[in-house]
Copies of this chain bind each other. A is one copy, B any other.
Amino acid sequence: MLNQMATLDRVFHALSDPSRRLMVERLSLGPASVSELARPLSMSLAAVVQHVQVLEASGLVRSQKVGRTRTCSIQPAVMRSAEQWMADRRTSWERKLDRLGDYLAGTADNPDTPAKERQ
């Protein structure tokens, strides 16, 4: 729960960069080498390697070197946990809105009901 916090830091930070998101999009179609990831990116290969390191540190991507090429692939676990974090907060808020809607509908003909929310 303490470490989970730092993981979410890294995952959201990793995804906050458009070049890194492009790499993830490419990798969602299948594994790729670093040079393959670099191809559409108009920046030095060294810069791409640094992006790969950020993705790898976040747990979103795993890579292994075979011969002289490093092949990267997606690791869906932490992606799912970041999704889950967002879904939990969002649905919590949306359920709250729904309950408020029900409350307002239920008290429309009974306006003297106290403002305290129902469970």
The interface of chain A, by Cβ under 8 A from chain B, is: 5, 8-9, 12-13, 15-18, 21, 24-25, 27-30, 74, 76, 79-80, 82-83, 85-90, 92-94, 96
Contact = CB atoms under 8 A, between A and B. Distances in A.
Q: Is the interface of A mostly helix, strand, loop or mixed?
A: helix
A76 B94 contact: yes
- How many protomers of this protein does the assembly include? 2
Given A9-B18, A28-B93, A79-B90, 6 more contacts: A8-B21, A9-B16, A12-B12, A12-B15, A12-B16, A28-B96
A96 B86 CA distance: 25
A88 to B, nearest CB: 8
| Residue of A24, A76, A86 with most chain B CB atoms under a 10 A cut-off | A86
